[in-house]
Structure 1
Amino acid sequence: MLLALLLCFSGFTGLCLSLDRHHGELLGHKPTTRRQQGLRLGGWLLLGLSLAAAVQGTGWSLGLVQWCAVLMCSALLLVLLLPYRPRLVLSMAGASLLACPLAALARF
């Protein structure tokens, strides 16, 4: 479940950064079209990988329920942190991407 949480938070951060307003707030400039599409694709890919991680860990019945809970928790964390600590969001997303391989290895 930790792997799904890390992937969800990173995915939502990628989707957030694909928007002009949030990209400008966090990084100081508007994204190019190619970067915007890459962030959007990467965000959706990470969310899909989080679904696969949740389902693989506990099966379809409980995995989907846990995935929905992880989606809500990570989105809530992002929504609460973004207005007050935007730089913390970037560092947490980077740290969660770095921690994903460790969380995947811890499952085995």
Structure 2
Amino acid sequence: MLLALLLCYAGFTALCLSMPRHHDELLGHKPSNRRAKSLKLAGWLLLCLSLWAAVAANGWGFGLVDWFAVLMISALLLVLLMPYRPKLAMAMAALSLLATPVAAWAW
């Protein structure tokens, strides 16, 4: 479930960065069309990978329940961090991407 959580948080952060307002707030400039599309694609790919990780760990019955729980937790964490600590939200996304191979190996 840790692997699914890390992938979900990174995916939601990529989707958040694909929006011009959040990209400007966090990185100081608006994204180009190509960057916005690539961030959207990466975000959806990471969310699909998190679904795969949850289902592979617990089967379809409990895997979908775990995945929806992980979706809610990671989205809530990002929503709570963005207004008050946006740089921490970015740092946590980078750490989640770095920790993903470790979590995959430990799984």
- Indicate the percent of aligned positions where both proteins have the same amino acid: 68
* Correspondence for 1:30: 30
* Correspondence for 1:72: 72
* Correspondence for 2:96: 96
| SS of alignment partner, residue 29 of structure 2 | coil
* Correspondence for 2:82: 82
TM-score (norm 2): 0.99
TM-score (norm 1): 0.99
Instruction: Report matched runs for 1:17-56 at 5 Å.
Output: 17-56=17-56
How large is the Cα RMSD of the aligned pairs? 0.3
Name the aligned partner's letter for residue 17 of structure 1. Answer: L
Q: CA deviation at 1:66?
A: 0.2
Name the aligned partner's letter for residue 28 of structure 2. Answer: G
Taking the aligned partners of 1:39 and 1:56, their CA distance within structure 2 comes to 25
Q: CA deviation at 1:105?
A: 0.5
Name the aligned partner's letter for residue 65 of structure 2. Answer: V
1:63-92 superposed Cα distances (whole Å, 9 cap, x missing partner) = 000000000000000000000000001110
Taking the aligned partners of 1:104 and 1:20, their CA distance within structure 2 comes to 32
| SS of alignment partner, residue 29 of structure 1 | coil
1:10 and 2:10 matched: yes
Name the aligned partner's letter for residue 10 of structure 1. Answer: A
The number of equivalent residue pairs is 107
The structure 1 segments of at least 4 consecutive aligned residues displaced by more than 2 Å after TM superposition are none
